Amino acid sequence: MSDFFTLSVLVATAASGIRLATPYLLASLGETVGQRSGVLNLGVDGVMLLSAFFSYWVVLKTGNLWLAVLVGVAVGLVMGLLYGFITVVLNATQGISGIGIYIFGLGLSDLLFRRQVGTPKPVRRLPDVDIPVLSDIPHLGPALFQRNLLTYLAFLLIPTTMFLLGRTTFGLNIRSVGENPSAADSLGVSVRRTRFAAILIANSMAGLAGAALVLQLGIFQPNLTQGMGFIAVALVYFGAWRPIGVMCGALLYGLVNATVLQWKALGIIPVNGSDLAAMAPAVLTILALVVLARRVSAPAALTRPFSRH
Amino acid sequence: MNGITKAFPGVVANDSIDFDVRYGEVHTLLGENGAGKSTLVKILFGLYQSDEGSIRLRNDPMEITAPAEAISARIGMIHQHFMLVPTLTVAENVALGTASTRRPFTDLDLVSERVADISRQHGLAVDPSVEVRRLAVGERQRVEIVKALYRDVELLVLDEPTAVLTPGEVDDLFVILRRMADSGHGLIFISHKLREVMSLSDRITVLRNGRVVQTITPAETSTEELAQMMVGRSVNLAPDKPKREPGGVRLEVQGLTVQGDREEISVRQVDLLVRSGEILGVAGVSGNGQRELAEAIAGLRSVEAGGVVRLDGIDVTDRDVRARRDQGLGYISEERMKDGAIAEFTVGENLLLVEHGSKKFTRRGMLAFGAINKHCEKLVEDFGVKTPSVETPTSSLSGGNIQKVILARELSAKPKVLLACQPTRGVDIGATEYIHNLLIEQRDLGTATLLISEDLDEVLGLADRIAVMYEGRIVGIVPVEEARRNQIGLMMAGVPEQEARNSP
Amino acid sequence: MLKSLIGALVPLLAAVVALAFGATMLLALGASPVEGFSAMFDGAFGSGSRIAATAVKATPLILVGAGITIAFRANVINIGGESQIIAGALLSTVVALSFPDLPTILLVPAVLLAGLVGGGILGAIPGALKAYASVNEILSTIMLNLVMVQFMNYLLRGPLIDPYEMEAGTRIPQTQRLSDNAMLPNLVDGTRLHLGVPVAILAAVGAYLLLWRTPTGFRLRAVGHSADAARASGMNVKRNITLALALSGSLAGIAGAILVFGSEGQRMVTDGSAAGFTGSAGFNGIVAALFGGLHPIWTIPSAMLFGALLTGATQLQRVLQVPAALAVALNGIIVIFVVSSTPVRGWIQRSLSEAGLFNRHNDTKTENPRHSRSEPGGLSDMPDPSEESGNV
């Protein structure tokens, strides 16, 4: 245990925690926007898997990381169009539709991977970029300011999301259709258009999260996410539908995961004990839900399809 | 609006209605629930499309297919259920749907300034920076009016705006509305409260069954005549009710204090006694704790320490709904489609909601459909429920018939205590009379009935004693033979019994 | 008449759409759709033993699906089939390891019961969390899936690992070969058809009887349609919510026991993922239940169809080298299609009834136009559980 509490190991753990938090953060921030508009998307995991596969495949074929990121976002956008059509245009039940998207993404990414790639081959990873001056701060610098660009982007998107929701007309519309769509409708705000746009944002960020995941790992395999997308959805509840809260949740997750990995590497926990430790994040989520369930209130119209009557 | 027709599956809500309103007048749409008032104004506001007919605004033909188009034609609407987003501030609610001067960003500071201006100009005190969920009902309504004024509406529809207000708040509202009309706005006022209609309107259009009965001015008519037009025949507002001596105490409520949905105290130290063979009516303006009181007695809402509910002498304060029902409680809830009946269930299933597990209806752990169907068919016949069969989904029945199903279920259990909340709300006149007679019949059988109603006429007609509730308290209890309408009205506004009695 | 016709059309259309999508995928992957589909059909129904294999594949789907319908009728969504299958399998495995010498006539019922209990517990937990702590059951069941996979890995790599694997150092996460007495008896020689198949069918029929023929089922459905009305008429809503998920989980738990004791390897084995043991039956059961209109009886043929899809996909992989994951993608498409067709069907019915095609009695009028499309047994009769899940 004392091996763990050395400065260098702690810094390395923090650094890897922040890296591991990145996909969670991206997906959860997007999902926050979606849920604030009243739309729950349980398909995040499926979207992440699909975008992760396509990003991986692009890097494998072209070696171009930024093209891969772009493709990841585009895949998310396409899945958003599908999900928006199902839930906003057709008014289908959101919970099960999302599960459909998940199963579809799981199957298709698996299928395409086995057909187009076969065995996992490592690809280029996202390089870390040092921020001048700040990265030279002892200990803190390497942990916080020697990360990849998508990590920086994820953290930049926190204030962006806050600003979007709090200070723009679009954000005001999103919040109103998520709380009382009839009121918004009676004032001429298009509930469908607003929700559709929020879904597109949510899904393209899920796509970005998939790209970030695979480009940080440098490898793809079927069911790469292992339920990360579902945790990302839970983190929105965890963060009480606020970007800052969501960030805290994502960081907590990243750090817990990183600590477990570090302990395993240091032999602090036995090999099969790591399976038990791997239960921690999900158990933690359930406990958090129990504690928070009665204290925070979800957007009032969350999961409710809107129709005039 | 000319020749407006709108049909829903099974009903023609509007049948070639002609209606016009002039700028500078208050034109009232008067009618019973289901007469077609709301449908008509929803067509005007673009929430529904009419099947036939046309709308002209200042003589120009208009197609209004969405609220946005109504708003840009400077038509506003204040809905019966407020269209406010509780988690947003007043300014955000006002700004919603309007163009910002700083697109794509909001300009809430400018909005707040204008809201303050409008408030001052029209005597509407509202603070633009407060979240709407912190506001009282009357204040929320002012926000709705500010919203309309902010959009420079010329034509404003008010859908039953007084339903949730105390008499005092109603007077304030009427002053504001009158001022708006005088400054050139056209107002469409929807109501079924005759006295209010007479005092506020310049013209009145009476609707019945989706058709216009007549358009008339208050000077040309009287409340009695309007009532007759509204229901289509002379109405016996007071059912025949022979005097009867009450028996022993069946329901006893002592020191009952109950929290509301927002953890505010809704019922304060209420004491009530209801005897066998009497109807105790609870009168009051909506939202003064009646719902919470009923739910606490039914066992659906927990009570604060110290309060006691006794059914037939037995303390049931800590018992659940089941135990209270076993002790002889029948419950007709306020919102029939929320907790009275299940829309998707068949008529038979709804009749069985309480007693499905009893020995009569089960055999070897399975439901005994032979006995069940016989029971249900008998109830349908006894209570005159108009339904094709007991297998019919309840949702396809009219409100009155659903209410009869609920009464059949509750009364067939022969309750000692009946808790009847708004038993005739949204029910047509025929069914209302039937239900009133049932309640009196039940009284004569010895049931102790607690009747909670916002319809003062109903309470005056049915109750033996009237308890008036205001802000969670019982202001006073008056025997019906001593009760005068305006005295009860004053008490509903919080004036203590003695003072109210002395008023002219 | 017309209504039931439209009702039957939905699964048919969904099947057509899935076929069309499958054909497109096959084309895109460079295989002939005709060859592909015939390979799948051959794989699923080509011989007696293949039909038996399909039925065996369908068995967990029938059980999970029937459980899903119970939960759905009570207005709770059970996405936790995977965790409940695993719990049932683990508990029944422990029972078989503890009492290997009991005679078959006792041990087989014992392992099935253990499966039921294990799955029931994993259902009751999210049920109680929803009922008593307002925790959204969709999230909690999903989280429990993630928890149970790791717990299974822990047990199969640790306390329950085959001692031989330890000695040999290969460390494949699997139990030792379980007692012959615990194995589900084979029903037809030369095929894989075992006792689990009739057990599952009986369970589905039992679910139907429970829901529509008993007071308990009456309460579950009442709570599902309107918790408020159920409470006001004296039902214990919280207990019924917990019960619904517990029942749902216990059926999935039986599926877990059947997966172990109907397996060729006579042991519980994983590859470290949930699907490695369950074959994703916890999710595919949802698909089967939806496709069967959330009716326990219709879930049986529906599950057979998906069983066929799974065995067919294996054949597809063997013959045409098209990855079997195609079946998973198709499942997703089917869910999406069935779910989105429900509101569409509502529109069709409403516009037909407005046109006067459905005879409505003249003396009744509509209380609430939104509720006027209910039709017992159909999807539109189903409550929409997610509408209630605004709580955390």
- For range A85-114, the mean pLDDT: 92
Predicted confidence band of residue C386 (pLDDT cuts 50, 70, 90): very low
CATH topology of domain B2-231: Rossmann fold (3.40.50)
Residue C373 pLDDT: 30
Q: Show the 3-state SS of B3-59.
A: EEEEEECCEEEEEEECCCCCCCCEEEEECCCCCCHHHHHHHHCCCCCCCEEEEEECC
C234 contacts B325? CB cut-off 8 A: yes
Q: Does A13 touch chain B (CB under 8 A)?
A: no
Predicted confidence band of residue B291 (pLDDT cuts 50, 70, 90): very high
Q: Does C343 touch chain A (CB under 8 A)?
A: yes
- For range B215-238, the mean pLDDT: 75
Q: Does A110 touch chain B (CB under 8 A)?
A: no
Predicted confidence band of residue B11 (pLDDT cuts 50, 70, 90): low
Surface of C (152-171) touching A: CB under 8 A: 153-154, 157-158
Tell me, rounded to whole angstroms, the distance of Cα A270 from its chain centroid.
30
The Cα C74–Cα C211 span in angstroms is 10
Name the token pair of C325.
Answer: 């994951």
Distance from B200 to chain C by nearest Cα, in Å?
A: 31
What is the DSSP-derived secondary structure letter of residue B394?
A: G
In a domain, A132, yes or no: no
Chain A CB contacts of C333 under 8 Å are 100, 104
Distance from A295 to chain B by nearest Cα, in Å?
A: 13
pLDDT at C2 over 60: no
Query: Touching A: which chains, 3+ CB pairs < 8 A?
Result: B, C
Q: Does B86 touch chain A (CB under 8 A)?
A: yes
Q: Does A160 touch chain B (CB under 8 A)?
A: no
Predicted confidence band of residue C337 (pLDDT cuts 50, 70, 90): confident
Could you tell me if A74 and A67 are in contact, meaning their C-beta atoms sit under 8 angstroms apart? no
pLDDT at C366 over 50: no
In a domain, A106, yes or no: yes
Chain B CB contacts of A38 under 8 Å are none
Sign of the CA dihedral A229, A231, A236, A239? negative
pLDDT tens for residues C21-74?
Answer: 889 988 988 888 999 999 999 999 999 999 999 999 999 999 999 999 999 999
Name the residue range of residue A283's domain.
7-127+146-292
B97 contacts A184? CB cut-off 8 A: yes
Q: In a 3-state reduction of DSSP, which class is residue A167?
A: helix
Q: Name the domain count of chain A.
A: 1
Of B47, B96, B104, the CB nearest to A187: B96
pLDDT tens for residues A227-284?
Answer: 899 999 999 988 999 999 999 999 988 998 888 888 888 877 776 677 888 888 889 8
Residue A260 pLDDT: 84
Q: What is the mean pLDDT of chain B?
A: 88
pLDDT tens for residues B132-142?
Answer: 988 887 888 88
Q: Pick the range with the lowest mean pLDDT from B207-211, C127-131, C165-169, C284-288.
A: C165-169
Q: Does A307 touch chain B (CB under 8 A)?
A: no
Name the token pair of B173.
Answer: 């509202």
Chain A CB contacts of B71 under 8 Å are 187-188
Chain B CB contacts of A168 under 8 Å are 104-106
A189 contacts B97? CB cut-off 8 A: yes
Distance from A175 to chain C by nearest Cα, in Å?
A: 15
Distance from C2 to chain A by nearest Cα, in Å?
A: 22
CA neighbor of A106 nearest in space, from C252, C326, C315, C153: C326
Q: Does A110 touch chain C (CB under 8 A)?
A: yes
Q: Where are the domains of chain B?
A: 2-231, 249-502
Chain A CB contacts of B97 under 8 Å are 173, 184, 187-189
**Amino acid at the residue B73:** A
The Cα C252–Cα C261 span in angstroms is 14
C391 contacts A303? CB cut-off 8 A: no
Partner residues linked to B54 by β-bridges: B2
- For range B34-60, the mean pLDDT: 85
Chain C CB contacts of A292 under 8 Å are 392
Predicted confidence band of residue B3 (pLDDT cuts 50, 70, 90): low
Residue A119 pLDDT: 87
Residue C169 pLDDT: 75
Q: Does A230 touch chain C (CB under 8 A)?
A: yes
In a domain, A297, yes or no: no
pLDDT tens for residues A195-212?
Answer: 999 999 999 999 999 999
Of C215, C222, C366, the CB nearest to B362: C215
Q: Does A111 touch chain C (CB under 8 A)?
A: yes
C229 contacts B325? CB cut-off 8 A: no
Query: Touching C: which chains, 3+ CB pairs < 8 A?
Result: A, B
Residue C295 pLDDT: 92
Of A107, A290, A294, the CB nearest to C328: A107
Q: Does A166 touch chain C (CB under 8 A)?
A: no
Name the token pair of B349.
Answer: 């299933």
pLDDT tens for residues C286-331?
Answer: 989 988 889 999 999 999 999 999 999 999 999 988 888 998 998 8
Please indicate whether the domains covering B2-231 and B249-502 agree at the CATH topology level.
yes
* Environment class of C163 (CB within 10 Å of its CB; exposed 0-12, middle 13-18, buried 19+): exposed
Distance from C184 to chain A by nearest Cα, in Å?
A: 31
- Find the CATH number of the domain harbouring A248: 1.10.3470.10
Q: Could you tell me which residues come within 8 angstroms of residue B476 by beta carbon, excluding any fewer than 6 positions away?
A: B467, B468, B491, B496, B497, B500
Predicted confidence band of residue B504 (pLDDT cuts 50, 70, 90): low
Predicted confidence band of residue B226 (pLDDT cuts 50, 70, 90): confident
> What are the phi and psi torsion angles at A87 (to 5°)?
-90, -30
Could you tell me if C234 and B413 are in contact, meaning their C-beta atoms sit under 8 angstroms apart? no
pLDDT at A97 over 70: yes
A97 contacts C389? CB cut-off 8 A: no
Of A169, A183, A300, the CB nearest to B100: A169
Chain A CB contacts of B98 under 8 Å are 187
What ipTM was estimated for this complex?
A: 0.87
Of A175, A186, A308, the CB nearest to B83: A186
Q: Does A101 touch chain C (CB under 8 A)?
A: yes
Q: Which residue of A has its CA nearest to C347?
A: A90
Predicted confidence band of residue C4 (pLDDT cuts 50, 70, 90): low
- For range B426-433, the mean pLDDT: 79
**Amino acid at the residue B355:** E
CATH of domain B249-502: 3.40.50.300
C129 contacts A289? CB cut-off 8 A: yes
Predicted confidence band of residue A217 (pLDDT cuts 50, 70, 90): very high
In a domain, A303, yes or no: no
- DSSP strand pairing (B308-311 vs B314-315): antiparallel
Could you tell me if B26 and B182 are in contact, meaning their C-beta atoms sit under 8 angstroms apart? no
CATH of domain C2-358+369-383: 1.10.3470
pLDDT tens for residues C206-241?
Answer: 999 999 999 999 999 999 999 999 999 999 999 999
Tell me, rounded to whole angstroms, the distance of Cα C98 from its chain centroid.
29
Surface of C (369-388) touching A: CB under 8 A: 369-370, 384-387
B85 contacts A176? CB cut-off 8 A: yes
Predicted confidence band of residue C375 (pLDDT cuts 50, 70, 90): very low
Question: Based on C-alpha coordinates, what's the Rg of chain A?
Answer: 20
- For range C334-355, the mean pLDDT: 70
Q: What is the mean pLDDT of chain C?
A: 85
Pairs across A and C, CB distance < 8 A: 191
- Count each helix (H run) and each strand (E run) in chain C, helices first: 15, 0
Residue B198 pLDDT: 87
Of residues A1 and B180, more confidently modeled: B180
Q: Which residue of C has its CA nearest to B358?
A: C215
Could you tell me if B45 and B64 are in contact, meaning their C-beta atoms sit under 8 angstroms apart? yes
DSSP structure string for A101-136? HHHHHHHHHHHHHHHHT-S----PPPPEEEPTTGGG
